[in-house]
Amino acid sequence: MTIRARIAVLVGILAAGSALSAPAATAGQQQPAAPAVQWGACPDDVLQDVPPAERPLFGCATYAVPLDHDNPRKGNISLALMRRAAGNQAQRIGSLFLNPGGPGGSGWGMPLGGKAIFEPEVLDRFDLVGFDPRGVAQSTPLRCFKTNEEAGAVYGRMSVVPVTRQQIHDTVAANADLSDSCARNAGDLLKHMSTKDVARDLDLLRQGVGDKKLNYVGFSYGTLLGATYAAMFPRNSRAIILDGNVDPKLRTNNGLRYDHGRAEGFEIALDAFLKRCKAEGDKCAFSSGDPRAKFDEIRDYLRTQDITLPDIGPVGLDQFTGIVAGTLYGPAGFKFLAQLLQQAYNVLHPPAAVAAQLSQAGLSVLKEAAKRGKYDMRADTPYEGDESYQAVNCSDKPFPPVPSLIPLLAKQWERELPTFGRYQIFTDPLACATWPVKHADAFRGPWDRKTDNPVLVIGNYYDPATRYDFAKQMARQLGNAVLLSVDSFGHCILGDSSCADKAAAKYLITLEAPQPGQVCQPDAQPF
């Protein structure tokens, strides 16, 4: 995704919509035989960081799928794909499709990072296939604006954590304007952006690469796509790994309860971070005194005025909450977050000695953290972003179509979840309250269709965006699944736990899932 120069904007990593839909297994299986994917060369600049000896492994393609699977005569849209061919073609098992989540995350380039995610034997035995889902990036994009200036005029009025009457008014109005702009500019694609649509695309891609059954790894929102595919096409599923899980039933049937649970997940992860900081002592710059009380004091102060930090400048509640939320996604940034928190606390309670400045590396980590899940765009025209995040979520997750309800709920959620309640309620619940597509054709279950092989569900204990309880619910709801737990902070884990990575490789190659109850550890601990 392109990145906007101010830290405005829309939190998230999950979904929206309404209206019950029938199980789509029969509809998906009635699709005609799909044409083969025609692989060609990838753009040279994309492969510039790939070792020359490995560049022949990569290929790129575009693939046509119906705009409306139930009415193919409406025409096609295109999907962008990239493949990293299996290193050992003689023992190749098949293709392994990848999705990074979002929704709206670009999966096209994921094969470039395959070495950082998978064990070498996986790279030997599978073609890694990344793709941009419908509406996303290099596939036919779902765009609600024609220029960056139009987009900036809308997104620039949104607050991440609106507190004042003016901030709330502007944020509610801007979300309504976003919906209006989508209705004017997005076209027919807007009505066909549910995860059900993407799952049907994925089944055509599976056929297009010549695989009888799907091999798939999905992260975050990508777990909903994997679960939807398994429920719609259980007989077409070979090996499916879901890392950083949503609760599929709750997400697709009660958006408010799901997002409240998601905010709770961030609060659980924050509390665990503060407790771990205290336990680490001098290794954590924020460990002196009571980290919980200190954090709450900083947050409450920022509700009324900014804090000026020596390394960053003025920091308001929007930026502060975005930095904290984003850093919880990756524990590598915990020590830098602790330094920033201590700097903020020192502004409120100046110490006798000047606090150490943040390193440039630490500033970089925190700036990137603040961008996680946020929407940005370049300053030039034409508009190059997309609104696939909102389009998918507002198709999948049911919310009350009453925007005036959101500020009232914000007060309640903030009392219960003081750091992230208001932060969460002003994202999908507000954006989807005025969304122009009503009664989207979304898949809402049943989720218990039995696949031939168990689905491997992986969940971190302190995942902020997709809490551990969601992983337990995913494993319970699927008809055939095994839960692998990881005693770790951070959002998703593959590539950061040798234990989980080896279990995933064994499962993909031999179809042998871990024993129920197994708990892995991460390769690196915070601080």
pLDDT digits (tens, 9 = 90+) for 135-171: 999 999 999 999 999 999 999 999 999 999 999 999 9
Contact predicate 454/463, CB 8 Å: no
Residue 469 to residue 467: CA distance in whole angstroms:
5
Compute the average pLDDT of residues 417-422.
Answer: 98
Long-range contacts of 354-363 (CB under 8 A, 24+ apart): 356/285, 357/310, 357/311, 358/311, 358/312, 361/336, 362/333, 362/335, 362/336, 363/311, 363/312, 363/336
Q: pLDDT tier at 362 (50, 70, 90 boundaries)?
A: low
> Which amino acid does the sequence have at 189?
L
What 3-state class would DSSP assign to 485? strand
Count other C-beta atoms under 10 Å from residue 445's C-beta: 17
Q: Which two tokens stand for residue 360?
A: 């440039």
Q: Is 315 in a helix, a strand, or coil?
A: strand
Q: How far, in Å, are 135, 168, 220, 275 from residue 31 at the CA level?
A: 21, 46, 28, 53
The reported pLDDT for the residue numbered 359 is 64
Mean pLDDT score of the chain: 91
477 or 25: whose pLDDT is higher?
A: 477
CA distance 103 to 9: 16
Residue 411 zone, left/alpha/beta (φ > 0; ψ -120 to 50; rest):
alpha
**Residues in the chain, overall count:** 527
What's the one-letter identity of residue 246? V
Separation of alpha carbons 110 and 84, rounded Å: 9
| Over residues 371-386, mean pLDDT | 58
For residue 20, the model assigns a pLDDT of 28
What are the tokens at 212? 């009888």
> How is residue 161 annotated by DSSP?
S
Say whether 109 sits in a helix, a strand or coil. Answer: coil
| Token digits of residue 270 | 């924050």
**Cα 271 from chain centre:** 22
- Architecture in CATH of 25-134+194-254+442-520: 3-Layer(aba) Sandwich (3.40)
pLDDT at 32 exceeding the cut of 70: no
Q: What average pLDDT score do residues 286-308 get?
A: 97
SS3 501: helix
Q: What is the mean pLDDT of residues 214-219?
A: 98
Residue type, 122: V
Give the residue extent of every domain in the chain: 25-134+194-254+442-520
Instruction: For residues 1 and 9, give the distance between their C-alpha atoms in angstroms, rounded to a whole number.
Output: 14
DSSP structural state of residue 440? -
Dihedral in degrees, nearest 10, Cα atoms 171, 172, 174, 178 = 130
Give the rounded percent of residues in the chain with a pLDDT score beyond 90.
87
SS3 343: helix
Between CA 419 and CA 459 the distance in angstroms is 23
* All residues at 6 or more sequence positions from 60 whose CB lies less than 8 Å from its CB, including other chains: 39, 40, 41, 42, 43, 46, 80, 81, 82, 83
What's the average model confidence in pLDDT over 198-209? 98
Q: Which helix (H) or strand (E) holds 120?
A: helix 120-125
What pLDDT score was predicted for residue 382? Answer: 85
Q: At residue 299, what are phi and psi to the nearest 5 degrees?
A: -60, -45
Which residues make Cβ contacts (< 8 Å) with residue 362, sequence separation at least 6? 333, 335, 336, 339, 340
Question: Number of C-alpha atoms within 13 angstroms, CB side, residue 45?
Answer: 0
CB-CB contact of 385 with 182 (8 Å):
no
Instruction: Report the pLDDT value the prediction gives residue 373, as an integer from 0 to 100.
Output: 41
| pTM for the predicted model, two decimal places | 0.90
Cα separation, 156 vs 165, in Å, equals: 17
| Secondary structure class of 516 (helix, strand, coil) | coil
**pLDDT at position 369, please?**
64
pLDDT band at 363 (very low <50, low <70, confident <90, very high): low
> What is the DSSP secondary structure assignment for residue 60, as one 8-state letter?
E
**How many whole angstroms from its chain centre is CA 79?**
19
Reading the block at residue 55, the tokens are: 């560049």
